[in-house]
């Protein structure tokens, strides 16, 4: 049975966090970019032909079952392929074997004219590559039309992170006299203590914690890993769990999530969107030097470990990265810290001044 095509999540009520959702700032587009944007919006509202609708359902079934893709990934795949298939419909292309690189280049040109960021284009290309690799694996296609198309070059931007003092101010923002404030404090402490992704955090159940201070999380493609939890995060969790029952007492039996660790005001499982609103609200009140997302706490976690001398391969294991190069791009050290480590470690790091050889020669003569 074909999977139901995911629909973009609408803005949920902000009562779960007590704050209005952040306003989206849309940049002004040029005339040509506005036309491309309108064309793309038309594709998104157009019903797909039965041929492409079936292919979309089959691929999402495969991504969910065969690749263990998360719901967030499935939603992104659904949006990207919906746009591309509607574009193919506009050219009356009804056979997957008729799709060639010219169709792909034409669609990518439309996205480029919309002044879309290179990182977004790379993500969409990654989705299309997964789809065509799936067709090759099913022996539907003999040649991948994406072979001659390269990823656009994206600027290497340094991810945002907080200094240690800023993290300290941030975690003390929630009001600890309420159960929601205790929950928010536990969320902030746990994000920083473990470097977990938001999707990993909201997926935690009560049985995820062991008696030895470790938490078991499931990352991308349901890969399991164990992460130690620091004392302050454990204390914040203990205080929240002591009041957590108040949220379940108000819950509707049909929507309650008694096994979930973090609950919303209705007693259901907290969503990643709500966690982002919580972090946005606390960051705004803490008046930090930069506006970070929950992923910024993950980066702060990795940066502070690296600055303290942790081995990068151990950080890779804690973050759940498959490739070490991903960890190297993800973590960041400032120049001062890097020079301090270099000067302390390299045997010839400090340059010998012109006076030092003369002093050494004079000492040698005196000894004679």
Range 313-321 average pLDDT: 87
Cβ proximity of 333 and 303 under 8 Å: yes
Lowest mean pLDDT, pick from 78-87, 255-264, 286-295? 286-295
Would you say residue 193 has pLDDT above 50? yes
N-terminal to C-terminal alpha carbon distance within the chain: 94
Other Cβ atoms closer than 10 A to 254: 6
- The residue that leads in pLDDT, 364 or 347, is 347
| Beta-bridge partner residues of 218 | 224
Strand (E) or helix (H) holding 224 = strand 224-228
Higher pLDDT, 164 or 352: 164
Judge whether 87 and 132 are in contact, CB under 8 Å: no
Spell out the domain ranges in the chain. 14-137, 164-343
Kindly indicate the confidence band of residue 171, based on its pLDDT and cuts at 50, 70 and 90. very high
Is 164-343 a domain of CATH 1.10.443.10?
A: yes
pTM: 0.66
- pLDDT-based confidence at 206, cuts 50/70/90? very high
Strands 214-218 and 224-228: antiparallel
- Out of 15-29, 123-137, 139-153, pick the least confident: 15-29
* pLDDT for the residue 42: 73
The confidence score (pLDDT) of residue 5 equals: 45
So which residues are the catalytic ones? 197, 220, 295, 298, 321, 330
Task: Phi first, then psi: give them for residue 214, nearest 5 degrees.
Answer: -115, 150
Distance CA 15, CA 18 (A): 5
Tell me, what's the pLDDT at 31? 61
Q: CA–CA separation, 40 vs 110, rounded Å? A: 8
21 pLDDT above the threshold of 80 = no
* Contact present, 288 and 170 (Cβ < 8 Å): yes
Cβ distance 93 to 107 under 8 Å?
no
User: What value does the mean pLDDT take over residues 146-170?
Assistant: 81
Q: Greater confidence, 327 or 124?
A: 124
CB distance 292 to 162 below 8 Å: yes
pLDDT at 351 over 70: no
Amino acid 235: pLDDT: 96
Residue 144 backbone phi and psi in degrees, to 5: -85, 120
Burial class (CB in 10 A: 0-12, 13-18, 19+), 49: middle
By C-alpha distance, which of 109, 96, 74, 83 is closest to 144? 96
DSSP 6-68: P-PPPPPPGGGTTSPPPPP-PPPPPHHHHHHHHHHHHHHTSPPPHHHHHHHHHHHHHHHHTS-
Look-up of token digits 């969107």: 273
Note the Cα 170 to chain centre separation in Å: 20
> What span, in angstroms and rounded, lies between the C-alpha atoms of 88 and 110?
13
- Taking residues 333-359, report their average pLDDT: 62
Say whether pLDDT at 44 is over 80: no
Q: Which two tokens stand for residue 279?
A: 């972090």
Task: Specify the pLDDT at position 337.
Answer: 65
């Amino acid at each position: 049975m074909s999977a139901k095509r995911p629909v973009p999540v609408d803005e949920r009520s902000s009562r779960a966090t007590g704050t209005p959702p952040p306003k989206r700032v849309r940049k002004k587009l040029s005339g040509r970019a506005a036309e491309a944007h309108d064309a793309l919006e038309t594709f998104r509202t157009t019903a797909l032909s039965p041929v492409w609708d079936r292919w979309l359902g089959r691929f999402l079934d495969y991504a969910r079952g065969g690749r263990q893709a998360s719901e967030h990934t499935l939603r992104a795949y659904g949006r990207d392929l919906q746009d591309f298939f509607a574009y193919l419909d506009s050219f009356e292309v009804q056979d997957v074997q008729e799709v060639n690189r010219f169709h792909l280049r034409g669609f990518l040109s439309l996205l480029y004219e919309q002044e879309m960021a290179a990182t977004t284009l790379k993500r969409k290309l990654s989705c299309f590559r997964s789809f065509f690799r799936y067709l090759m694996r099913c022996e539907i296609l003999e040649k991948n039309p994406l072979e001659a198309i390269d990823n656009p070059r994206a600027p290497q931007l340094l991810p945002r992170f907080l200094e240690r003092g800023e993290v300290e101010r941030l975690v003390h923002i929630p009001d600890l006299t309420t159960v929601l404030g205790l929950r928010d404090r536990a969320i902030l402490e746990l994000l920083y203590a473990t470097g977990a992704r938001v999707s990993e955090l909201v997926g935690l159940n009560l049985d995820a914690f062991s008696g030895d201070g470790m938490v078991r999380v499931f990352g991308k493609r349901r890969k399991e890993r164990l992460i130690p939890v620091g004392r302050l995060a454990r204390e914040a969790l203990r205080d929240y769990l002591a009041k957590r029952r108040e949220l379940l007492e108000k819950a509707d039996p049909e929507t309650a999530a008694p096994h979930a660790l973090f609950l919303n005001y209705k007693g259901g499982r907290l969503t990643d969107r709500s966690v982002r609103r919580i972090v946005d609200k606390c960051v705004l009140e803490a008046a930090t030097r930069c506006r970070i997302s929950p992923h910024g706490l993950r980066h702060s976690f990795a940066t502070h470990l690296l600055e303290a001398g942790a081995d990068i391969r151990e950080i890779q294991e804690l973050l759940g990265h498959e490739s070490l190069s991903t960890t190297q791009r993800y973590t960041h050290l400032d120049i001062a810290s890097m020079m301090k480590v270099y000067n302390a470690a390299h045997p010839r790091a400090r340059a010998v001044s012109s006076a030092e050889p003369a002093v050494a020669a004079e000492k040698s003569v005196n000894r004679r």
